[in-house]
Amino acid sequence: MTQYAVELRDVVKRFPNPGGGEVNAVNHATLQINHGEFFSLLGPSGCGKTTSLRMVAGFEWPTEGEILIDEKPMGRTPPFQRPVNTVFQSYALFQHMTISQNVAFGLEMENASKAEIQRRVEAALEMVQLAGMGARKPRQLSGGQQQRIALARALVKRPAVLLLDEPLGALDLKLRKEMQLELKALQEHVGITFIYVTHDQEEALTMSDRIAVMDKGNVLQIGTPVEIYERPNCRFVADFIGETNFLLGRVKDFDANNVIVVLEGSDREVVGIPLGELRPGQDVVASVRPEKIRIFDNATLKFGVPANQPNIFPIRILNTTYIGSDTRVLVDLGLGVQLKVWEQNHLSTLDALAYYTPGQELWMTIRPENILILPRDN
């Protein structure tokens, strides 16, 4: 087996801009995608996800750089000669054909025998859990079922790589969540490499083995969902994936693996872990996820928190929003700094005293590894 299923080597794609000049849709992207991997391209609208996917499919050619599939440089190989298949957001099913005919469509172009086609169509429908629906027309199926047909139609050709461009975008939230899990299970079952485009960070975290986060044509970070969420390499990634608090500050000193940062407009210090090269005096931003902050009252603070633990601050509760599984609290750290804190409701109680009230004066602690210190300018 070759080392990589798909590789982008320093790929640039520029389009002529109708209004003059050029659009840099993809900017020196380098990616290696492993065989059997569920790999996602994640980023906001216009960041170059679809363009990247279309270059792998062969619908577009790179302006610079190279795309390799199974280690073969693709050059200007047309789409139908590449071992890939694409599933789009709009299912693009033929309305006048039955489900079976839709799925068989690609195979008939391949000159497969009738018996062979029938066997493979049935197997593909089985794979997407729609066995027995072959005689229906697309409009007699729900949105989720139609998307599964589009998947079956792509899978029936046994591509080495399946490209999916926001395939669940048209479905409602509940169905989308169901389909995410189904699609992931299907991918594991068939073992095909998936390249999956989405702008939905939760979807990418749920499904992917690895994620490439893109912005303005640039690949900013490539990593597993845990790496991307827990150790974002820049402010954009920290902000785009999940929710986070940003505190502005300046590097004061270094201490073992930690960095000490003085918050802007105060002499208050936080201890966190440095991400990237930092030097004393540098302007930085501290990124803290809301679920990683703990609120304590005086009693707990006295007995429950080690005396030498850094990052203990007095706070005031500004407001609280109870959302069932957790409570979202906005706290005031003084200095005009407000923080979002999410607390899981692990006690089932109607006792009002178990919940915070606005104006309450309490304490908060954050473990140093939960404060990521990033250079401010990236």
Rounded to the nearest whole angstrom, what is the least distance from the CB of residue 49 to ligand ATP in the complex? 4
Stretch that binds ligand ATP, among 40-48, 93-101, 143-151, 367-375 (CB under 6 A): 40-48
232 binds, among Mg ion, ligand ATP, none (CB under 5 to 8 A by kind): none
Rounded to the nearest whole angstrom, what is the least distance from the CB of residue 201 to ligand ATP in the complex? 12
The Cα–Cα gap between 185 and 191 comes to 10
With H, G, I as helix, E, B as strand and everything else as coil, classify residue 13: strand
Rounded to the nearest whole angstrom, what is the least distance from the CB of residue 24 to ligand ATP in the complex? 8
Does 169 engage in binding with ligand ATP (CB under 6 A)?
A: no
The correct pick among 2, 3, 10, 15 for binding ligand ATP (CB under 6 A) is 15
362 binds, among Mg ion, ligand ATP, none (CB under 5 to 8 A by kind): none
Residue 72 C-alpha from the chain's centroid: 28
By beta-carbon proximity to Mg ion, the closer residue of 88 and 313 is: 88
Q: Can you give the three-state secondary structure of 324-358, one letter per residue?
A: CCEEEEEEECCCCCEEEEEEECCCCCCCHHHCCCC
> Cα 44–49–54 angle (5° rounding)?
155
By beta-carbon proximity to Mg ion, the closer residue of 42 and 286 is: 42
Rounded to the nearest whole angstrom, what is the least distance from the CB of residue 147 to Mg ion in the complex? 17
Q: What is the DSSP string of 264-315?
A: TTS--EEEEEE-S---TT-EEEEEE-GGG-EEE-HHHHHHHS-TT-S-EEEE
The Cα–Cα gap between 141 and 137 comes to 7
Residues 193-212 that bind ligand ATP (CB under 6 A): 199
Q: What is the DSSP string of 41-98?
A: EE-STTSSHHHHHHHHHTSS--SEEEEEETTEE-TT--GGGSSEEEE-SS----TTS-
278 binds, among Mg ion, ligand ATP, none (CB under 5 to 8 A by kind): none
83 binds, among Mg ion, ligand ATP, none (CB under 5 to 8 A by kind): none
The correct pick among 48, 134, 274, 368 for binding ligand ATP (CB under 6 A) is 48
Residues 18-37 that bind ligand ATP (CB under 6 A): 23, 25
Rounded to the nearest whole angstrom, what is the least distance from the CB of residue 41 to Mg ion in the complex? 9
Strand order through the sheet with 72-73: 22-33, 6-16, 64-69, 72-73
The Cα–Cα gap between 139 and 232 comes to 43
Q: How many residues bind Mg ion (CB under 5 A)?
A: 1
The Cα–Cα gap between 31 and 195 comes to 11
Residues 36-55 that bind Mg ion (CB under 5 A): 50
Rounded to the nearest whole angstrom, what is the least distance from the CB of residue 169 to ligand ATP in the complex? 9
Q: How many residues bind ligand ATP (CB under 6 A)?
A: 12
By beta-carbon proximity to ligand ATP, the closer residue of 48 and 167 is: 48
Place of tokens 């409701």: 345
Residues in the site for Mg ion, rule: CB under 5 A? Answer: 50
Residues in the site for ligand ATP, rule: CB under 6 A? Answer: 15, 23, 25, 43, 45-51, 199
